Amino acid sequence: MIEFLAKKLDWLDVQYWFYIFNDLSLFYIIVPFFALELIRYAYLKRLDKDLVLDSIANVVTFGAFFLIEIILGILAITKVYYWVYNNISLPHLELNWATLICCVLLADFAYYWEHRTMHRIGIGWATHTVHHSSPHFNMSVAYRFGPLDAIMPIVFSLPIVMLGFDPILVLLSEVFVQVFQTLLHTEIIGKLTKPVEFIFNTPSHHRVHHGSNRQYWDKNYAGILIIWDRMLGTFEPEKEKVVYGISQPINSVNPIVVFFHGITRFVKKLRQIKGFSNKLLAFVKPPDWMPKP
C-alpha cells in the first residue's frame, strides 16, 4: 500500500485522467443528465417558459464567468502561482498517488473555506448570490456564476501551491472539485446509502445548501467531502422540503440582471452606509451586516 502510494506517476497519465473527468464529463454525464431532468420536468408538468429561460440565463452567466476565469486563470497560473511556487513554497513535491490524493483533498478543503467565505462576507455574497438566485435546481444551475466568482478560488488555492504542490496539479484538482460539485445539482437523485451520505457531499446535502428555508441558510459548503461540514459545524441534513432561491428573489430571467444583481444590490447597500470605514467594513462583514445607527 505504501509503495503504491509512493509510486511515481506520469504527468501525461494524470492530465489524461483529469481530462476524462474534468473536461469530457460535460458530454457523458452532465448534458445527458440535464436532458433527463428536462424530461422529468415535462413529465411533472413543470417544464415552462420560466424554467427554460432560467436555464438559458444560467448558461449565459457561465459564458461571462468563463471569460473572466480564463483571463484570471492565465494570469494566476503563469505569473502568481509559478512565482509563489518558485520563491516561497515548501520543497516541491513529486507526482505520486499520495501527493495526487492529498492535493485533491486539500483543494476540496480550500473549496470548503472559499465557499464559506463567499457566503459570509459582503463582497463574497454579492457575487455568489447569483449562483443561489435561481428558484430551480438542476444541472444548469451549477453553471450560474457571478462576476467575481473566479477570484476567491485563486486566493484560497495559493496556499496549496505554497505547500509544495505543482500549480498545474492544484488547478486540475480545483476543477475536479468543481465538476464533482456540478453533478450534485439535481432533484432526480434522492438520498444515497448512509455511509456515502456520511462521508461525501451528495445531491441531498447540496439541495439543503441551495435552500432558502431559514434552517438551511449557510449550511453544507462542501465540495466532495461533507465531513468538512460535519467537522466545522455547518452540516444540516435534508429534512424539510427545500425551497430553492434566496430570501429576496430577483424574479428575472434576464442574464444581465441575473449576472449583476448581487453587485447592484451591494452598491445600493454601500450608498446607504455612512462613513468610509463602514463602507469598507461592509466588504468583509457578513452580508446582512449594517452599522449601528
Q: Residue 100 and residue 81: Cα distance in Å, rounded?
A: 18
Residues 149-178 that bind another protein (CB under 8 A): 159, 163-165, 168
Select from 1-9, 23-31, 149-157, 186-194 the region that touches another protein (CB under 8 A): 1-9
The interface mask with another protein, positions 2-21, x = CB under 8 A, is: xx-xxxx-xxx---------
Size of the site for another protein (CB under 8 A): 40
Sequence letter at residue 231: M
- 284 and 123 Cβ atoms separated by less than 8 Å: yes
Select from 81-89, 129-137, 206-214, 248-256 the region that touches another protein (CB under 8 A): 81-89
Minimum gap (Å) between residue 73 Cβ and another protein:
15
Angle separating helix axes 122-132 and 276-284, nearest 10 degrees:
50
- For position 80 contacting another protein by CB under 8 A, the verdict is no
How many residues are given for the chain? 293
Q: Residue 255 and residue 130: Cα distance in Å, rounded?
A: 10
**How many CB atoms lie under 10 A from the CB of residue 3?**
7
The interface mask with another protein, positions 89-128, x = CB under 8 A, is: -xxxxxxxxxx--xx-xx--x---x---------------
Sequence letter at residue 94: E
The residue among 82 and 289 lying less far from another protein, judged by its C-beta, is 82
- For position 87 contacting another protein by CB under 8 A, the verdict is yes
Q: 96 pairs with which residues across the strands?
A: 8
**Which of the 8 DSSP states describes residue 143?**
G
Kindly state the cell numbers that stand for 251.
424574479
Binding residues for another protein, rule: CB under 8 A, are 2-3, 5-8, 10-12, 78, 82-83, 85-87, 90-99, 102-103, 105-106, 109, 113, 159, 163-165, 168, 228, 231-233
